[in-house]
Structure 1
Amino acid sequence: MSAENIKLIPKLSLLSVVVFGLAYMAPGIVMSIFGVISSTSDGSAPTAFALATAAMLLTALSYAKMAKIFPTSGSAYVYARRLLDSRVGFLVGWAILLDYLFLPTVAWLFQSFYLAAQFPAIPVWAWLALNAGLTTIINVTGIVLTDRVNKILTLLVVTLIGIFIAYCLAYLGGNPPASFTEPFWNSATTVSGIAAAAAIAAYAFLGFDAVSTLSEETKDASRNIPRAILLTVLVGGIIFVVVSYIMQLVHPGGDFEEAATAAYAMQVLVGGQFYANIANMLFIVGGFASGLAIQASTSRLLYVMGRDGVLPRRLFGRLNPRTKTPIFNLVLVGAIAALAMNISLELATSCINFGAFLAFATVNLCVIAYFIRSRRQGTKLPVIGYIILPVLGAAVDIYLLTQLSPMAIIIGCIWIGLGMVYLVFLTKGFRREPPEMRLQDQQSERIQAQHPAPGTLSTVPAASQAQPTEI
């Protein structure tokens, strides 16, 4: 069997995909950014996280709708291509590529910095090589091993969060807070402060969309992927709100000696230095799951774009016959980590945010486009679910995009400009369509026939086309 004919195998359950999404988001991030969120919101961190959860749920609903209609890997890239325009789909995929290529690097770099701080005898570059290398080996082995390691490490992180909460509750037992409602709203809280903090907190949700890249490796994808997307945001949001509420009780107000290390200082306060050091180390190890999930989803996006011919197919669009994994893509993503030593975390993070929020806004627009198409075919879909909520979701995403630093926006625009140049090359000066989708199963062929990209013709007679799906 040739490499081009090998398919991704559906082996993942709903639980596996939800755990994957949570690992991608990294539940422990609530502790890492608590100080910044609390400081920005003047001591109302749980309210900021709750607002961010509600805002991200708007976009999650749109992703769930699209994942049910298009149960194939590729995420926003596929949705935009099928519902907006093939060229728009390409540029969305290009924007997501910026996000996904930098995400593994940032995850590994964060781990390497913390490990080097705790074990200074080993340099950062060595930890970086170890993290990237070990992650790549596990992902190359296959999705089943990745799933098992992912579950174990995510369970470790959730357990550590539970232990930390227990220490906090024990501390509060001896030092009862003056008020149990102040973490949500206090005398210093303002609407503008909450909004600004929620915009920062929204970054903690980046990655829930990556669940859709596993559609072709998930059992009953049209049912489980939409559920997994919503569950990932809901479970993640609940964890963020509960943990930040208890941390805010331990430390009322938003004043910290160093907001970036507030969680570590709080661990020392409630459990002592020894506990803080052990917990810090275990959180770092648990964070390995995030890099594992991020690299896996990035390789799948590259695979879909390669399979379509948008990227060189012989390199990017091939699966290993034995492991059924895109080995070239996984190795490439691991190799890109070498660039991490020459860029700042701020720069890499900015690139991630630009690509993510642009993709989020586009998916909301795709839902609106689907509504319009359905109306033209005679199917009426609910206005609230397909117009009002997506419009609100797109507005939130665009607002978050405008909150990025000027440098982030400049870099993002340059990246999109490079994508435009490549698109001109692929289409011979826009004289032809970008390479078309080559979805490889009967369900995918049916989807493509029912939802051809704007400007293309369906090969299925109108009488045999199914009606648009209502969700």
Structure 2
Amino acid sequence: MTVTSAATEGHLRRVLGLPSLVLFGLVYMVPLTVFTTYGIVTEVTGGRLPFAYVVTLVAMVFTARSYARMAGAFPVAGSAYTYTQKTFGAPIGFLAGWSLLLDYLFLPMINYLVIGIYLEAAFPAIPAWIIIVVTIAIVTVLNIIGIVSVARANFLIIAIQAIFIVTFVVLSCVTLFGSGSVDPAAPFSGDGTTSGLAPVFAGAAILCLSFLGFDAVSTLSEEAKDPKRTVPQAIMIATLVSGLIFIGLSYLSQVVFPSNEFTDVDSGALDVMAAVGGDFAKTFFTAAYVAGALGSAITSQASVARILFAMGRDGILPRRVFGRLSARYATPVYAILVVSVVSLLAVVIDLATLASLISFGALVAFSVVNLSVIKHYFVDLRQRSGGQIVNSLVLPFIGFALTVWLWTSLSSETLIVGLCWLAVGFIWLLGVTRGFSRPTPTLDLKE
């Protein structure tokens, strides 16, 4: 059967409305991710985890707003890669996209690793590597079938987490009513082990990883209905809703369990669950957390596959592999399979290394998107009158400054690895353009 170019190199289907886009962002960020670094940040902040989340949410809202504005200007797949390419030129756009790949390529891997760890603990007879491989296979099939199947799975994942959150809130209230005196200001005033705002800011820098997901919504611009309106709205809604969930859950947890002394700081959430509902709460939490990680794996793999598709369609990556869609499913099958193969590294890599690399890639993307707003709206479109100065210069500059501040929390090892990754990308770009003697391919913005 002859396959037309429209089927193999055409456009993605516009099938996603605002609710699906918001759910995509929420599932990507995983509402229960508040418990991933619960013990660590509680110790760092001296029992002021909700305070740290407030600081992080403020910082992320500025960057989310920049993503929303750029998504409205360029409603196509590619996220930070596309925005930087259209404002600063194709070479800089490629390097921004290359950095973003650190974020997106390793986010599915982290979820597979966490799923393997938790399920191996629950079922010791099954090795973690088997669980990881099987999970990768399931997620790959869902993404190949199509984005509609991903959206449907998101409803189920969110429902499971919502049921757990409601159960957790009810059990916490019962526990609080049955206890003695409660200090409602403790999660913001602290437990006295640390003082000043510096520990809160240090915790906020760690928590920026919790918000990785609002930018993922922008990668679905070519599959969204009315993307200039719905994608910006979904980005802001997902950021604000997830931030409020993080603040609420962390506040309630620290009121119920007002201590930073954990059996194991890495799994400090289990001490909270034991205080709230014993073994039942611990088991329910594990199930809901694994479900959330599965949903995040589905959405994160879908996002990076579409970034690879955008870069392949440009010709900056091999077009025959990355720039083609399945004639049957209209999804970037080859790009999805490449992500799955890379994700197999979850069998051998450690969590700390993954987290560090994700931080580097995310902060690069956040920085360049804030700068892209200034370049596109303030410099190129000359929006410089009245409130336009605030919208096109002041607010995105604040977002840029806050992301640069978060950079100061990265270790020297992380910066070295990240810069090496950028160097590899630059060498690849030199090869594709024959030392910049040829123009860097640009994205065809027909839609």
The equivalent residue for 1:284 is: 290
2:354 is aligned with 1:348: yes
The equivalent residue for 1:255 is: 261
The equivalent residue for 2:154 is: 150
Q: Equivalents in 1 of 2:90, 2:277: separation in Å? A: 55
Q: Is the 8 A contact 1:153 1:287 kept in 2?
A: no
Change in CA separation of 1:263 and 1:223 when aligned onto 2, cut-off 3 Å: same
Q: Among residues 429, 439, 444, which one is paired with 2:435 in the alignment?
A: 429
Q: Among residues 240, 250, 269, which one is paired with 1:244 in the alignment?
A: 250
Q: Is the 8 A contact 1:306 1:316 kept in 2?
A: yes
The equivalent residue for 1:465 is: none
The equivalent residue for 1:216 is: 222
Q: Is the 8 A contact 1:60 1:230 kept in 2?
A: yes
The equivalent residue for 1:109 is: 113
Displacement, 1:408? 1.2
The equivalent residue for 1:415 is: 421
Q: Is the 8 A contact 1:95 1:355 kept in 2?
A: yes
* Aligned residue identity for 2:132: L
The equivalent residue for 2:271 is: 265
* Aligned residue identity for 2:110: V
The equivalent residue for 2:407 is: 401
Q: Among residues 160, 173, 176, which one is paired with 2:177 in the alignment?
A: 173
TM-score normalized by the length of structure 2: 0.95
* Aligned residue identity for 2:363: F
Q: Equivalents in 2 of 1:170, 1:85: separation in Å? A: 57
2:366 is aligned with 1:360: yes
Displacement, 1:379? 7.6
Q: Equivalents in 2 of 1:149, 1:372: separation in Å? A: 40
The equivalent residue for 2:99 is: 95
- Note the aligned Cα RMSD (angstroms): 1.6
Displacement, 1:346? 1.0
For each residue in 1:412-458, what CA deviation from the matched residue of structure 2 results, as whole angstroms up to 9, or x when unmatched? 000000011011111111223211212343xxxxxxxxxxxxxxxxx
Q: Among residues 197, 203, 206, which one is paired with 2:209 in the alignment?
A: 203
Displacement, 1:348? 1.4
Displacement, 1:253? 4.2
Change in CA separation of 1:52 and 1:323 when aligned onto 2, cut-off 3 Å: same
The equivalent residue for 2:67 is: 63
Q: Which runs of 5+ in 1 are unaligned?
A: 442-471
Displacement, 1:92? 0.3
Q: Equivalents in 2 of 1:81, 1:382: separation in Å? A: 23
The equivalent residue for 2:142 is: 138
For each residue in 1:391-428, what CA deviation from the matched residue of structure 2 results, as whole angstroms up to 9, or x when unmatched? 11111111222211222111100000001101111111
Higher alpha-carbon deviation: 279-288 or 188-197: 279-288
* Aligned residue identity for 1:12: L
Displacement, 1:185? 1.7
Q: Equivalents in 2 of 1:430, 1:129: separation in Å? A: 41
For each residue in 1:253-308, what CA deviation from the matched residue of structure 2 results, as whole angstroms up to 9, or x when unmatched? 43334222121111122111133223312321332101000000010000000011
The equivalent residue for 1:331 is: 337
* Aligned residue identity for 1:136: T
Q: Equivalents in 2 of 1:105, 1:375: separation in Å? A: 40
TM-score normalized by the length of structure 1: 0.90
Change in CA separation of 1:186 and 1:346 when aligned onto 2, cut-off 3 Å: closer
The equivalent residue for 1:84 is: 88
Q: Equivalents in 2 of 1:49, 1:150: separation in Å? A: 25
Change in CA separation of 1:324 and 1:239 when aligned onto 2, cut-off 3 Å: same
The equivalent residue for 2:126 is: 122
Q: Is the 8 A contact 1:41 1:254 kept in 2?
A: no
Q: Is the 8 A contact 1:374 1:381 kept in 2?
A: no
Displacement, 1:73? 0.8
For each residue in 1:164-188, what CA deviation from the matched residue of structure 2 results, as whole angstroms up to 9, or x when unmatched? 1211111011114431112112463
Q: Equivalents in 1 of 2:9, 2:77: separation in Å? A: 16
Q: Equivalents in 2 of 1:191, 1:275: separation in Å? A: 33
Q: Equivalents in 2 of 1:287, 1:372: separation in Å? A: 39
Q: Among residues 321, 327, 332, which one is paired with 1:321 in the alignment?
A: 327
Q: Is the 8 A contact 2:164 2:284 kept in 1?
A: no
Displacement, 1:373? 3.1
Q: Is the 8 A contact 1:375 1:381 kept in 2?
A: no
Q: Equivalents in 1 of 2:75, 2:180: separation in Å? A: 50
2:30 is aligned with 1:19: no
Q: Is the 8 A contact 1:11 1:217 kept in 2?
A: yes
Q: Equivalents in 1 of 2:72, 2:441: separation in Å? A: 24
Secondary structure of the equivalent of 1:350? Answer: helix
Identity, % of aligned positions: 39
* Aligned residue identity for 1:198: A
Q: Equivalents in 1 of 2:382, 2:69: separation in Å? A: 19
Q: Is the 8 A contact 1:100 1:294 kept in 2?
A: yes
Q: Which runs of 5+ in 2 are unaligned?
A: none
For each residue in 1:340-396, what CA deviation from the matched residue of structure 2 results, as whole angstroms up to 9, or x when unmatched? 222211111111111110000000000110133345589876111211111111111
Higher alpha-carbon deviation: 177-186 or 90-99: 177-186
Displacement, 1:69? 0.6
For each residue in 1:317-344, what CA deviation from the matched residue of structure 2 results, as whole angstroms up to 9, or x when unmatched? 0111121111111111111122222221
